[in-house]
Structure 1
C-alpha cells in the first residue's frame, strides 16, 4: 500500500475535474499519475532523506469564487501584484486573471492552465508534462494526478512582450489542495518575462508538489523570476525545467524564502546550437529548516553556454544542500558551462554543503566551478566597524551584499521589495 496517497480519494478527485468539463486526455494523464504514484519511489536527493519529511498531506480540491478585480480578491494580492497582466490562484483554482487587449491582439495567451486545456488544447497538449514527466518519480506522478489552477503563457512567433506578466499562487484554506502547474511556450524569436510568487497563510501541514515547464523555441528568450515565501507548515517541492532550442535563451532568477522544508530542482536542457542559460538562485534558511536546492544545465547543442550562481545563508539550526550540475553531452563541442555555489553560515549550528559537479563527455569545451562554505569574514566586520558602523549593522550589510547580485535581478520593483522583506524576516531583522 502506498501510504503517501492514502489521504486522497482518487474517484472524488477525478470526478471534481470531470464536473468542470476537463478534456478526457487530461483525465487520462491524471489516471496515469495515480497509477504511477503507487509504483514509483520518491526522488533521491543528495544527502537528504525526504522519507523523513512525512509527505502526503494534500487536501481536497477547493476552488475560489471568481473576482472581477484585484481589489475584490483582497488579502495579499495587492502586496504582490504590480502588473496590468496578472493571474491569481487561491488554493485550488484561479480567482482572477487579466490580460491587456494589446497583448490579446498580438495572439498572447495568459490564463489558468485548467482553462487552457479546455480552450486551447492544440497549444497545451504537445507540452503538458513533457519537460517534466509523470513517470520520473512519485512526486511528479502525484503532481500529474492532482495539479489544479496553474498558469499557461503562450507567446506567438516574433512577438516581444515588454512588460512582465505576473502570477500569484496563494494558499489560505486549511483543507485545500494546492498544487499549481506553470506551462510557458515561447515561439520562434519571441521574448517574455514571467514573474511568479507563492505564499501561504495556514496553520496545518500541507505538501506542495509544483512543476514549471518552459519551452523556448529557436531564437526566443524567456525570463522566469520566482519568489517562494510559503510558511512553516508547508513543505515545498518544485521542479522547474526549460527546453531551449537553437539560439534560444532562458534566464532563471529564484528566491527560495520558504519557512518550511524545501526541495527545488531548476534545470535548463540546452538542446539547440547556441542555446543559453543563466540561472541565479538565493535562499535563506532559519530554525530547523532543511533545504535541498539543485541547479542544472544539460548541454546537448554545440556552442551552448550556461552560467549558474547559487548563494545560501543559513542561521540557527538550518541545513542546506546546494548542488550545481553541469552536464556536457558527447557532441556538444564548443560549449561553455560555469557554476558558482556559496554558502554563508551565521550560527555554529547551521550547516551548509556546496556540491559542484561537472559531467563532461566532450573534449572541445570549457567548464569550471567554484564553491565555498564559511562564516562571515571577521576582517570585513572589523573594517566596517572601524568606519563607525555597529557590529550588528556590519553583519547585516555583509549578508545583503552577499545576496544582492540575485535580488537585484528580479525584474519587478514590487516583487524585488517583497523578496528583500522576506529575506529580512528570515534573517531576524524585520
Structure 2
C-alpha cells in the first residue's frame, strides 16, 4: 500500500491515512486534530538556526513494507548493526513500517511489551492512549503537529513494576527507498522500580538514493518512581535526508534517565533532547557526540528542567566540525521555583578542523530558585598546533597526529558509554566520518 504525502497535510488527509491502516478511532481523531493544528502553527525556532530555509515538506509516501521472515533478508549494512546474540530482543522498521520483531517468551511472561507502536495502539489501546503525546504536546509547534499526524511504525516498550530487563532491547530503523515516508515514534514506559536499556540505530542504505526526504521522529520516555532507563541512539543517514528528532523524558521520584546520543548524520540536523526532572531525587545524564562535514548545518540542544527537589542533571556534548559544516550546540539547565537542592552541570566543547567550519557552544542557565547548584563550561577551538608538533617530534605524521588529538577530544564521551555494542558501533562511525 502506498499513499502520497503532500503539502499541506490537512485533517481529512490524516484521517484517511489512519483509516487506511485500520487504526482505532481514538488514534484517527488524534491524527486529525494534529493535522488541523499544523495548518496554523509555526516551525520551531532553534537558536541561530533557520530551519525554515530547509526542505521540511519532503515527507515522501506512506509505503507498508513486507514482513521479513528472518534477519538474513536484511541488507548487509543493516545486518552489521544486529546484536551478536541471535536471540536478543530486536525490532526492525523498514521505511514506513515494521518489518521484523523478536522478543523472548520469558520477557513476555514478565509482562514486558516490545512491539511496533501501530500494533500496540490496537492491541494495548488503553495503555498506549495513556502515554502517547503526553510528554510531547502535539500542538506545541508545526513539527510536533505534523509528526503526530503522519508518524509511522515506531516502537512501544512497556516494563511493569519492579521488572528488571537485563538485556538491551534493540531497534533498527532503516530506509532503502527515498520515496518512502520515514517517521517513527518511540514510547518507552518504565513503571515504578523497573529498569530497561533501549538502543536504536537510524540509517539509510546505499540503495536509498539522493531524493530529498525528511526523517521526523519523536521519543517519549516515562520513568516511574525509582525506575532506571538507559536510552541510546545513533543516527547516520545520507546527506539528502533532513534529520529532525525530538526526545523527551519525564522522570518521577528517584527515577533516572541516561541519554547516549550519537548525531553522526550527514545532512542537516535538528536534535533536541529534554529531561523533565519532575520528581524529588530524580536525575538525568546526557552524553551527546557529533561530527559535522561538508556544508551540513546542525542544531543540537540538550535540556534539563528541574522541578523536583534534590534533582540532578549532567550534560556533556562534544562535536567536531570539518569542511564548511556549522553546529549550534545549546545546553539548557532550567531550575524551577521550588526545586531546592537541585544540581545541574553542563559542558559543551566544539573542535573545528577547518577555517570555514563554524561551531557555537551556548550554555544557558535559567535559575528561579536560590538554594541550588548549577555550573557550565564551554569551549570552541581548533586542533592545538603545539600538540601536533609534539606528536610529530615523536615520529608521527601530521595527519595521524591530528587524528589522535581528535580521538582524544572525543574519548571522554565515547569511553563513558557503558554499552559495549553502542560504543563499538559509535567508534566505527566516528572513524568513517572523520576519514571520509
Which TM-score applies when normalising by structure 2?
A: 0.95
Q: How does 1:95-174 map to 2 (within 5 A)?
A: 95-174=99-178
CA contact (8 A) 1:8 1:58 kept: no
**Which residue of the partner structure matches residue 402 of structure 2?**
395
Once the 2 structures are TM-superposed, how far is the Cα of residue 415 of structure 1 from its aligned partner? 3.6
Partner of 2:114, secondary structure, is: strand
Once the 2 structures are TM-superposed, how far is the Cα of residue 422 of structure 1 from its aligned partner? 1.9
Once the 2 structures are TM-superposed, how far is the Cα of residue 65 of structure 1 from its aligned partner? 0.8
* Matched pairs, number: 426
**Which residue of the partner structure matches residue 269 of structure 1?**
276
Partner of 1:246, secondary structure, is: coil
Distance 1:375 1:209 in 2: 32
Q: Deviations over 1:257-298 (max 9, x none)?
A: 000000000010000000000000011000000000000000
Distance 2:130 2:400 in 1: 52
Unaligned runs of 5+ in 1: none
**Which residue of the partner structure matches residue 256 of structure 1?**
263
Distance 1:411 1:17 in 2: 39
**Which residue of the partner structure matches residue 57 of structure 2?**
56
CA contact (8 A) 1:270 1:300 kept: yes
CA contact (8 A) 1:7 1:57 kept: no
CA contact (8 A) 1:8 1:60 kept: no
- Pick the aligned partner of 1:380 from 387, 390, 394: 387
Q: How does 1:210-289 map to 2 (within 5 A)?
A: 210-289=217-296
Partner of 1:104, secondary structure, is: helix
CA contact (8 A) 1:328 1:362 kept: yes
Distance 1:304 1:19 in 2: 45
Q: CA RMSD in A?
A: 1.5
Unaligned runs of 5+ in 2: none
**Which residue of the partner structure matches residue 66 of structure 2?**
65
Once the 2 structures are TM-superposed, how far is the Cα of residue 213 of structure 1 from its aligned partner? 0.3
Once the 2 structures are TM-superposed, how far is the Cα of residue 12 of structure 1 from its aligned partner? 5.2
Which TM-score applies when normalising by structure 1?
A: 0.96
CA contact (8 A) 2:18 2:31 kept: no
Distance 2:425 2:315 in 1: 23
CA contact (8 A) 1:186 1:216 kept: yes
Q: Deviations over 1:86-134 (max 9, x none)?
A: 0000000000000011111111110000000000112111110111111
Distance 1:290 1:28 in 2: 36
**Which residue of the partner structure matches residue 424 of structure 1?**
431
Once the 2 structures are TM-superposed, how far is the Cα of residue 15 of structure 1 from its aligned partner? 2.9
Once the 2 structures are TM-superposed, how far is the Cα of residue 13 of structure 1 from its aligned partner? 4.9
CA contact (8 A) 2:11 2:31 kept: no
Once the 2 structures are TM-superposed, how far is the Cα of residue 409 of structure 1 from its aligned partner? 4.0
